[in-house]
Amino acid sequence: MISKVYTLPAGTEPTADIVSGLITGSQRKECLELYERLYAYYMSEAVASREAPHQLLAITNHARYIVKTNVGYLLGNPATYLAAENVDIEPLLTVYRKQTISNLDVENATDTSIFGHAFERVYVNKDAETRSTRIDPRNIILVYDDTVQHEKMFAIIYQPSVNEKGEIVRDAYDMTILTPTIAMERKLKDGILSGDEEVPHSFGEVPVVEYLNSSDRVGDFEPVISLLDAYNILQSDRVIDRERLVDAILAFYGMDLGKEDQEDLKESRTIAGVPSDAKIEYIVKNINEADADVLRSAILADIHKISMTPDMSDQNFAGNSSGVALQYKLLAFEQHVKDKERYFENALIDRFRLYNGVLASVKKMRTIEPSEIDIVFRRALPQNDLEVSQMINNLMDIVDRETLVSRLSFVQDAKETVKLAQEEQEKSLKLGNYGINKADEPDDQTDSDDPLDEE
**Mean pLDDT, each 10-residue run in order, the chain (455 residues):** 91 94 94 94 72 64 94 91 88 94 96 97 93 96 94 96 88 94 93 91 94 95 93 83 70 76 72 75 73 89 93 67 67 92 95 94 90 86 70 82 76 78 82 54 51 46
Single out the residue of 314, 308, 305 nearest to residue 333, CA to CA: 308
Of the CA atoms within 13 Å of residue 248, those in its CB half-sphere come to 13
pTM as predicted: 0.79
The DSSP-derived string for 21-44 is HHHHSHHHHHHHHHHHHHHHHHTT
Which residues partner with 120 through β-bridges? 134, 209
Question: How many CB atoms within 10 Å of residue 17?
Answer: 11
Question: How many CB atoms within 10 Å of residue 417?
Answer: 17
Coil, strand or helix: which one is 246?
A: helix
Cα gap 130→123, rounded to integer Å: 6
CB 245 within 8 A of CB 237: no
According to the model, what pLDDT value does residue 282 have? 74
Single out the residue of 130, 52, 57 nearest to residue 358, CA to CA: 130
Sheet holding 208-212, edge to edge: 130-135, 117-124, 208-212
According to the model, what pLDDT value does residue 7 have? 95
